[in-house]
Every structure is written in structure tokens, then in C-alpha cells.
Amino acid sequence: MKLYTRSQLIKSSLTGAAFGIAIALISVVAISLSHKKSDSLENIAAEEKNEITSSQTTENENTVAVNSAQNSAAETARPQIIEEKAIPVAKTYDSPYTQDEQQNISVYEKCNEAVVNITTQVMGINWFLEPVVQEGGSGSGSIIDKRGYVVTNVHVISNASKINISLYDGTSYEGTVIGKDVESDIAVIKFNPPDNVTLKTIDFGDSNNLKVGQKVIAIGNPFALERTMTTGIISGLGRPIQESTNVIIRNMIQTDAAINPGNSGGPLLDTNGKMVGINTMIISNSGSSAGVGFAVPVSTARRVVDDLIKYRKVNRGVLKIAPVQMTASIARYAGLSISTGILVSEVERGSSTEKSGILGGTEQVQYGSRFNPTTIYLGGDIITGIDNITVRTYADYTSALESKRPGDTVTVTVYRNGEYKKLRVTLDGKDSSNTNSNAASSTL
């Protein structure tokens, strides 16, 4: 064991104490320096944050200033509007149908009960040459009066010995013919409903202001499928359509609404459910709808129907002549340079036609077949035009006078002695003694 003196012990204690104090001072200095560094970093971070915030604020202020300047410039450039009224918007209701569908449904519900199915019976001959009743044609019609008046086409009831009119509820009535007008293919028939039955009717609309592209709706009985509705547009207006050899119907409405056999006589409607035409025919190679259907305008139907109900005939202005269709054989025989137009064979004495200066023929000839000849007179005027309508055939001649009334004055162009002359002619009334019912059309 090693022994230390007192002085050594004191020296050793002082050295240890000094070493401890030095370590403590070093620790205090280190801790102080660490706190100062942390404070410095926090200050730097705060200063950087303040700089960023200040920069964003300045940028926002600049943006606001730029936007304000742009808005001011736009306000200066924009035209001054005193007042801008809001456009009224129709209220919409929850409905499973589109507006177009709802329109179709509304028209159908309003009009379908006024559309009737017309079937006919005709007299035929059986194998034993006995007369028998046979099924005829079928078509459609529109009830236009609560007393039971129905408008349809002439060809729907042509040659009918019996007419049957079926209503929407399945009831049937026998119809009678009130009047027929071949020139417009319009007929009026009537049935007698019971006193306790109130009929639905279809009102006449206006066909004078129709536009190509306007929506139209057809209701009829195609292929015996009762009250079928089709829709389309007006494809053309003012169409002259030749329905038969001696009939041209002018100002027809062309539509792409499907019109099939059985639709004839039914109504062509506008979107208000008013009748604007009477469906009459289609042009098709197959006989089915080919997108080209035609309807007699209601402006014609209204005039014709009124006359048929009042007089059972159309009170139409006529020329009191015996017309003959010009042909090449007549032109050769008479030595004429034209082969079309209407030859005036005779003029009724004392008529307005005679007083207007139209001349009849003087040379009597036999015209037609050997076994059924007709006497005509050559040398008279040849009518080639009435007003602004060129007359080449008898169908042209009748259609040119279709809308005229007795007492109306027309300009008639005639070919006389190698020259064309225009005459102002006052039309006569049509009566049973009139010779204007047919035109000879055979060859010499």
C-alpha cells in the first residue's frame, strides 16, 4: 500500500476540483452556444416567412391592380346598355314526354274521334251474269258538322250502291251522298246520329299561309287500321296534279307524312288540330307510301263543301261552249298549225260567252268511231289559255275554271285565223242544259 503525504493530498484535491470546474464551464458554454444557434435559425426562418408573405401580398396587390385596370378598360370599351330584360322561360313540369310528343298526343286526342272509316258496297255481276252486291273500296273522312256531315274524296265513294260510316266507338251508320265535285275530288256525305250522341268535329284551318317545312299530321284508316296517325312536314305547295284523264287539281299540298291506301279523304292537320287539307293521293310505283303524298288545300275544300251542302253541286263559272280536245288528226284534217288546246265547236246562243266574242265552228263533220260518230263543227276558235294558265288539254281547261264563280271575268286566249287574240269573257252559271260536261277525245 502506497502512502501520501498531506501536501500531496491537498494538491491532488485541488487538481480534481479545478478539472471539475473546467468541465462544468465547458458544458455551460456549449449549452449557451446551442441556444443561440437555435434562436438564430428561428429568426432566419421567421424573416424568410415574412419575406414570402410580403412578396405574395405585393403580387396579389399587383394582380388586383391589373385586373382592376383590365375591368376598367373593358367597361370603357363595352357599349352602354340601359336595361337588359330577362327572357321569360316557360315553366317546365315533370312529364315523361317531350314537347313534340306532347303536341302529337294533344292533336290526336283532340281530332281522332272526328275521323271516320268509310267502306262501300258496289254492284257487280256474278258468273251467271246476275247483279250481286260486292265489297267496294274503303277510305277515311272527317266529321265537319254535329248534324253528321262528313267530307271525303269522290273516288272513295265512287260507284257505291251503299256507304257505311264507322265511328271511333265502333258504331256504324249508313251514309247518303249530299254532293260530289269531280273537279276537286271532294264529296260530302251525311249520316243521322241519335239525339243522345254529340259528335266530335274537326274545324277548317287556313291553307293560304302554309310554309314549306311546316309540321303537319295525318289521321286516317290505312289498310283498314282505324285512326292511324302519321307526322311529317309540308314538302311543297301549289302542285298541279292530274288525277284522271279529264281532271287536274291545282294548288295541291305535297307532304312526306305517310299516306297509304285508306288514308284518302282523311284530314291533314296543323299542330293546332285544324284541317289544312284533305288527303287525296300518293305518287308511288308500288302503290304504298313513298314519301310523296298530296292533299287538296282547305281553301278549295271550304268553298266546295259550302256549295255542296247548300246546292248539292258547286256553283262554278263556266264558258257556255261545246269543247273538243284538239288532236293531231283534227289539225291535219282542218289544215291547222296547232294540235293542242280546246276547239270551240258550238257557243250557246244568248250566253255571256257568245256576247264576249268567242266564235263557234261552221263546218259540220262526223267525229269519232264509225259505229258511234259525233257531230262537231270546225272553223271555230281554239282556246289556248285562260288567265295565266296554258290550256293544252281538257284537264287544263277544267282546272283553269275550277275556282271561278258565275259573273267572274277571265282573259281567254284564242287561236283564230292564224293569230292569237285575247278576249275578256264573263263566265256563265253552270246548269243542266250546259254542254260543258265532256269533251270529245277520239280521233277522226
Q: What whole-number distance in Å separates Cα of residue 410 and Cα of residue 422?
A: 10
Q: Among residues 138, 142, 184, 264, which one is catalytic?
A: 264
Any catalytic annotation for residue 155?
Answer: yes
Q: What whole-number distance in Å separates Cα of residue 154 and Cα of residue 246?
A: 14
How crowded is residue 111: how many other Cβ atoms within 10 Å of its Cβ?
Answer: 24
Q: Among residues 138, 140, 155, 399, which one is catalytic?
A: 155
Q: Among residues 142, 184, 185, 351, which one is catalytic?
A: 185
How many Å separate Cα 443 from the centre of its chain? Answer: 44
Residue 34 vs residues 27, 37, 198, 324: alpha-carbon distances, Å: 11, 5, 109, 132
Q: What whole-number distance in Å separates Cα of residue 416 and Cα of residue 188?
A: 41
Active site residue ranges: 155, 185, 264
